[in-house]
Structure formats: C-alpha cells, structure tokens
Amino acid sequence: MTAAPAIEVRHLTKDFRVGLKGVKLRAVDDLSLSIPRGQVYGLLGPNGCGKSTTLKVVLGLVPATAGEVSILGLPSATAEARARTGFLPEAPYFHKFLSGRELVRYCAHLSGVPSDRVESAVEEAVALVDLREAAGRLVGTYSKGMLQRIGLAQAIVHDPELVILDEPTAGVDPVGAAAIGRIIEAMRARGKTVVLCSHLLGQVEQVCDRVAIMDKGRLVLEGAVEEVLERRDRHVLTVDALTPAALAAAEAALVAHGARLGAVTHPRRSLEELFRELVTGSRDA
C-alpha cells in the first residue's frame, strides 16, 4: 500500500464575502493538487493569486467553500493532522517580550512535545536555524532574517513530517535568504516534506523538486522543476571546434530535413560554477 500524499487538495474553492453587500470574491477556484512526501514543493504565483488562502485552508485556519483537503491522509482541520505539520506564516509576528528560546519552548508545549523532551527539542531546533547564540535575546530585538529563522525553529520544534513555509525569505537580505535555503535543504535531507511559497524564483528553482503555479485562484502549471523548465519543442546541440563551413553545412542539413537553426551561441556557466571551478579547485589542489 502506498503512503498518502503529504497534501491532497481536491476541487478546492474558497469564496470571501466583501463589503456591506457581501459581494463574492473567489480566491481559490476548483484547485486540485497532490504534493508527494519527502520533496520540496514550490507554490508560486503573483500576489493575490490564492496561495496563502490555499495554505490557510490546508491548515484549517479558514474553512473551504467547497472541496476536500487532507494532510498525510488525515482530514486537514484535525488536531492530529496539525500535530504532524509545522507552519511559518508570511511576515511572522511573535510576542516581543519572550526570548527566542522561550518562544520556541512555548510552541513546543503547544505542539505536543513531551515535557521531558522539550529542552532538547528546543536546542535542536534553535541549532538547526543557527540561532543558538541569539536564542537568549528578546524576540523584539531580532532582525527580519532572525525573525524568519526563529519562526522556522518554532515550526519544526516538534519534528513535523510536513513543513509549510509562506514567504520565508520576504524582506530578508540575500545572505539571510541563502541561509534559509540551506535550512530547507537540511529538512529535505531529513526526509521532511517542505511546501514553499516564495517570490524568489531563483531560490525556488534551486531548492524545489516540484512546483505549482497559480494565477487568479487557478492552477496553471504543475510538475517537476526539470520537466516544466525544459522546452521540449527546442533542442540544444553542444559542438566543439565549430568552423563557419561546418555551421553552414549543418544549417543546410537541418533545412533539408525540415528543421531550422534558431540561434548559435556559446554556452554559459553560472558565476557559482566559475567560482567553484576557480576557488574550490585551487583549494583542493
């Protein structure tokens, strides 16, 4: 028997009533998704496309107008499902009078961590987000990046199987965003399922196994990152020692077979690849 997906959304619709007349606003429109376990899943889309609403319905914070949602095979609104889920909301706000460690301890108790395990779970979570030194400071003194990281710590302190992160890098500088990216990769290495909502598409491409793109409440694309980025109607040939004569002959051969040469360019490597080649290579040597 195969394990149930981490999240299963079937024909989800969510309407909001706005204004005095109660005009209906459809935030999510007949959305169906199946998020497999053990992967990092990117949920993308422009502001107002229904990503956050979808996550709130998944967590039982907002009731669905129609459709069904399950987490790890359990109805999503149940406490049992939420006990196996960690959540970092967008732009998180925490009680400023608590220290980082106190906040994570508070969340550990609410998440059902056994009392004799709380301290070790707190230290583990704080260490994973690299906040051990600052954990004794009041949350009110934290920078934006530190707030996101302590938010991550409170989300994972009970060692959930599924972690949902809503814009974890919003307002965070590139160094902080990279640190959060490393934490997500560490969670994947531990076998967790991570659902990531983010506008940092470069990071999503780097860390996600699969992505779904939403627009105006509807799902417009879903699939493995490699698959959705690949253009199956086009091909790239990498050729060594291409002379003008060889190029002309190749172009003629392509035309003869009904194909067309679109462009001839030199392949690029990323700055990171170049950096690793130059620096890591010399260090290894």
Partner 1 sequence: MKAACHRSLWIARITFLEAIRQRFFAFLFILGAALVLASGAVRVFDFGHSELKFLADFGFGGLFLFGSILGVVMTAQLFFAEIDNRTALTLLAKPLSRAEFLAGKFLGIWAVLGVFVLVLAALLAAMLGWRAAELAQLAADRRLAPPECDLAGLALYAALQWLRLGVVVAMVLAVAAAARTFLFAVVVGALAVLAGQLQWLSQELLLKPAEPGLGQAALWLLTHLLPNLQQFNLGDALVLAPHQVAAGTLPWVFLSGVAYVVAFLVLATFLFRRREI
* Structure tokens, 209: 């196994």
Q: Is 194 exposed, middle or buried (CB count within 10 Å of its CB: 0-12, 13-18, 19+)?
A: buried
Among 99, 111, 169, 198, the residue binding partner 1 under the rule CB under 8 A is 111
Q: To 5 degrees, how large is the angle CA 61–CA 166–CA 4? A: 70
Q: Which residues inside 134-173 make contact with partner 1, applying CB under 8 A?
A: 151, 154
User: Rounded to whole angstroms, how far apart are CA atoms 260 and 121?
Assistant: 60
Furthest C-alpha separation in the chain: 76
Least distance between partner 1 and beta carbon 59 (Å): 5
Query: Is residue 98 a contact residue for partner 1 (CB under 8 A)?
Result: yes
Among 42, 45, 50, 89, the residue binding partner 1 under the rule CB under 8 A is 89
Among 42, 50, 92, 217, the residue binding partner 1 under the rule CB under 8 A is 92
Query: Is residue 63 a contact residue for partner 1 (CB under 8 A)?
Result: yes
Least distance between partner 1 and beta carbon 82 (Å): 5
Contact range with partner 1 by CB under 8 A, out of 55-63, 199-207, 222-230, 268-276:
55-63
Q: What's the sign of the alpha-carbon dihedral 54, 60, 66, 71? A: positive
Instruction: Give DSSP secondary structure letters for 127-138.
Output: HHTT-TTTTTSB
Query: Is residue 106 a contact residue for partner 1 (CB under 8 A)?
Result: yes
Interface residues toward partner 1, by CB under 8 A: 56, 59-63, 79-80, 82-83, 85, 87, 89, 91-95, 97-98, 106-107, 109-112, 151, 154
